[in-house]
Structure 1
Amino acid sequence: MNAKTKKTLSIMLTCLCLGVFIYAAYGLIDTAIDYYKNRKVLNNLQETFYNADHPVIDDESASIRSGFDRLLKENDELVGWITIEGTQIDYPILQADNNVDYLRRNFYKEKNIAGSIFMDFRNDVQTPGLNTILYGHRMKDGSMFEQLTKFQDKDFFKNHQTFEYDTLYDSYVAEIFAVYITKTDFDYIQTDFSTDEEYEQLLAGIREKSMYETDVEVKADDHILTLSTCDYALDPNDGRLVVQAKLVKKG
C-alpha cells in the first residue's frame, strides 16, 4: 500500500469517525432539548394547577373540581393529577382512547420522548373500576415514573407509604400495599372481573409478588391504583416495576 492510498484511507476513516461523533452528539443534544422542554411544560402546568384560583364548573352529570378547569381548556383529555412526596412525581394525568398516544407526546400533544403520565383507556375516571392503571416512562433525567424506583429502597418505602391522587371529580389518599418487579405475563393491569373471587385472586397474586408486607387491607370491594413503568432486571422488553395502592376517598 503506497503512501497516497494510506493517506486516502486515513482521511476516509477520520471522516467516518467524525460522522459517527456528529450523529451521536446530535442524538444527545436532541434528547437534552426534549428533557428541557418537558421540564418547562411540567413546571408551567404545576404553577397553573397549584396557584390558580378557579371556580368549580359543571360537566353534565358531575362537577369538575377547582384547579382543573383552566388546564382542561388546554387539553380536554386531562383526567387527574398525581403527587408523590419525596420524588419528582407531581404531574397531570391524561387519557386517550388508546394506550399509545401519550407514550411520546406531552400535555400539549407535542412530540417528546418523555411522553406523559396517562391512564389506561379502559378505565373510566367518572366511574372508577376496581383497578385504575397509570403508565409512565423511566427517564434518565429522573422525570416521569423513573423515581418509582425509590420504592425499592426499604427505608424510603417506610417513610412514604401514601401519596396523593386527584381526579377531576374526587380526591384520594393512596395507601401503598405492594411494590414489585414482574413481567407482562402477570396480568396486574386487569381491569374487568367477573366475580369477587377473580379480583381476590389477583390481589393474592400481587401480595405474593410484593417485596414488602404491609398492614393495608385490600378487600373485594376496595379500589386500587396501579402505577406501572418499565424495568430491565427480568426482561429488557417485558419487565415492569409496579407500585399498587388502595384508594381511600378524602372527606
Structure 2
Amino acid sequence: MMLTATLLAATAGIMAAGTSRSLSRYSTLEVEVIGDSPNNAAKEGIDWPSLRKENPDVVGWLTVEGTSISYPVTSERGEHAGGWYLKHDFWGRASTLGCPYIDPRCTTEASHILIYGHTVDAPDSMFTPLSHAYEQQTFSLIGDAHWSTTEHGDATFKPLMAINVDALYPDIQQFRFASNSGLRSFLRSLSKDASCCAENKEELIERARRVLSLVTCPSPHEGECTRTIVIFVQLQARSRPLRTKHFQP
C-alpha cells in the first residue's frame, strides 16, 4: 500500500510538472506562430512549417473570440491514436492539459468538424472557458471561432448554440450530409437539446454551410458522464455582415 501510494504521488508530481511546462510552452508557441494577437492567425497567416517541425500531427489552429482559446489542433494517427492527445501535450510530453484534437471520423474541411479539448483546473487553459457554455451568461461571452488549416486558410464560424448532454450523445456523431437541407435538419435536431441559442438561430441555421463543434467536460474532475458541446456555423456569403445575438430559450 505504501509503495502504491508513493508511486501514485510520484506520477501526480510528474504530471503536474508537465502541465506547468505545457502552459508556458503553449503561450510561447502562440506568440511564435501567430504573433502577439490571435487575430493575426486570420490577418497574417500561420507559420505552418514551424508548427509541422514541432509536431507533424498538426492539422489546424483554433481561436475563439471572447475566450483565451488559441491552440494548435492535432490529428490522431499511428501511435498517437486512441485518445493519446488527452494525456500528452503538443510536444508529446505527458500533461493533464493534453492538446485539442480533431475527431478521426472527420477531416479539417468536412461539413461537420468535431474537436475535443480538456477542461482543466487552470481557468483560462484549453477548452475550460467553454465548460459552462450551456449557461446563458457564459454562452453570451463567446464570439466567433476561427478555424485555420494547413491548406485552406482561415474560416469563420458564428456561435449558434450550446448543449450539455451525455458523453455518448449519438446525435452529434454525424459528419457528412447529402445536401444543405440535411445539414440544416441536423442542426435543428441538435437545437432541441440546446440550453442556449443565438437569438437569430433560425437565420443562422438557414444560412449554414458547415458546422464546427467544440467538445469538453463541464468540470475538470475525472469521471464526468456529460459533455458540453458548443456548436458554431460557417455561413453562406451575403451582401451585408450578420450580427449575432444570444438569448435564453
With the shorter chain as reference, the TM-score category is: 0.7 to 0.9
> Does 1:90 find its partner at 2:70?
yes
Q: Deviations over 1:150-181 (max 9, x none)?
A: 52442343243323222222212220101010
Asked whether the equivalents of residues 105 and 112 of structure 1 are also in contact (C-alpha less than 8 Å), the reply is yes
Can you give the 5+ residue segments of structure 2 that lack an aligned partner in the other structure? 37-44, 238-249
Shift of 1:91: 0.8
Q: Distance in 2 between matches of 1:100 and 1:210?
A: 27
Stretch moving more, 220-229 or 171-180: 220-229
Q: Could you say which residue in structure 1 is the equivalent of 2:164?
A: 181
Q: Deviations over 1:27-83 (max 9, x none)?
A: 55334212202112202211211239xxxxxxxxxxxx5422211122122111112
Q: Could you say which residue in structure 2 is the equivalent of 1:134?
A: 115
Q: Could you say which residue in structure 2 is the equivalent of 1:34?
A: 18
Q: 1:205 aligns with which of 175, 183, 189?
A: 189
Q: Could you say which residue in structure 2 is the equivalent of 1:171?
A: 154
Q: Could you say which residue in structure 1 is the equivalent of 2:55?
A: 75
Shift of 1:132: 0.3
Query: Are residues 35 and 160 of structure 1, via their aligned partners in 2, closer, same or farther at CA, if it must alter by over 3 Å?
Result: same
Shift of 1:133: 0.6
Q: Distance in 1 between matches of 2:83 and 2:207?
A: 30
Stretch moving more, 186-195 or 209-218: 186-195
Asked whether the equivalents of residues 60 and 149 of structure 2 are also in contact (C-alpha less than 8 Å), the reply is yes
Q: Could you say which residue in structure 2 is the equivalent of 1:114?
A: 97
Structure 1 segments (4+ residues) deviating >6 Å: 18-21
Query: Are residues 220 and 122 of structure 1, via their aligned partners in 2, closer, same or farther at CA, if it must alter by over 3 Å?
Result: farther
Q: 1:224 aligns with which of 189, 208, 211?
A: 211
Asked whether the equivalents of residues 104 and 114 of structure 1 are also in contact (C-alpha less than 8 Å), the reply is yes
Asked whether the equivalents of residues 81 and 91 of structure 1 are also in contact (C-alpha less than 8 Å), the reply is yes
Asked whether the equivalents of residues 18 and 95 of structure 2 are also in contact (C-alpha less than 8 Å), the reply is yes
Q: Distance in 1 between matches of 2:22 and 2:34?
A: 18
SS of 1:223's equivalent?
A: strand
SS of 2:196's equivalent?
A: coil
Q: Distance in 2 between matches of 1:227 and 1:172?
A: 15
Stretch moving more, 163-172 or 203-212: 163-172
SS of 1:29's equivalent?
A: helix
Q: Distance in 2 between matches of 1:224 and 1:103?
A: 23
Query: Are residues 196 and 86 of structure 1, via their aligned partners in 2, closer, same or farther at CA, if it must alter by over 3 Å?
Result: closer
Query: Are residues 249 and 99 of structure 1, via their aligned partners in 2, closer, same or farther at CA, if it must alter by over 3 Å?
Result: farther
Q: Distance in 1 between matches of 2:53 and 2:9?
A: 38
> Does 1:193 find its partner at 2:177?
yes
Provide TM-score, normalisation by structure 1: 0.74
SS of 2:162's equivalent?
A: strand
Asked whether the equivalents of residues 102 and 116 of structure 1 are also in contact (C-alpha less than 8 Å), the reply is yes
Query: Are residues 199 and 69 of structure 1, via their aligned partners in 2, closer, same or farther at CA, if it must alter by over 3 Å?
Result: same
SS of 2:34's equivalent?
A: helix
> Does 1:47 find its partner at 2:31?
yes
Task: Give the % identical residues.
Answer: 19
RMSD over aligned CA atoms reads 2.9
SS of 1:218's equivalent?
A: helix
SS of 2:234's equivalent?
A: strand
Shift of 1:121: 1.7
Q: Distance in 1 between matches of 2:207 and 2:235?
A: 14
Shift of 1:134: 0.5
User: Could you tell me which amino acid in structure 1 is paired with residue 62 of structure 2?
Assistant: I
Larger Rg: 1
Asked whether the equivalents of residues 157 and 232 of structure 2 are also in contact (C-alpha less than 8 Å), the reply is yes
SS of 2:59's equivalent?
A: strand
Corresponding residue pairs, total: 218
> Does 1:100 find its partner at 2:79?
no
User: Could you tell me which amino acid in structure 1 is paired with residue 75 of structure 2?
Assistant: Q
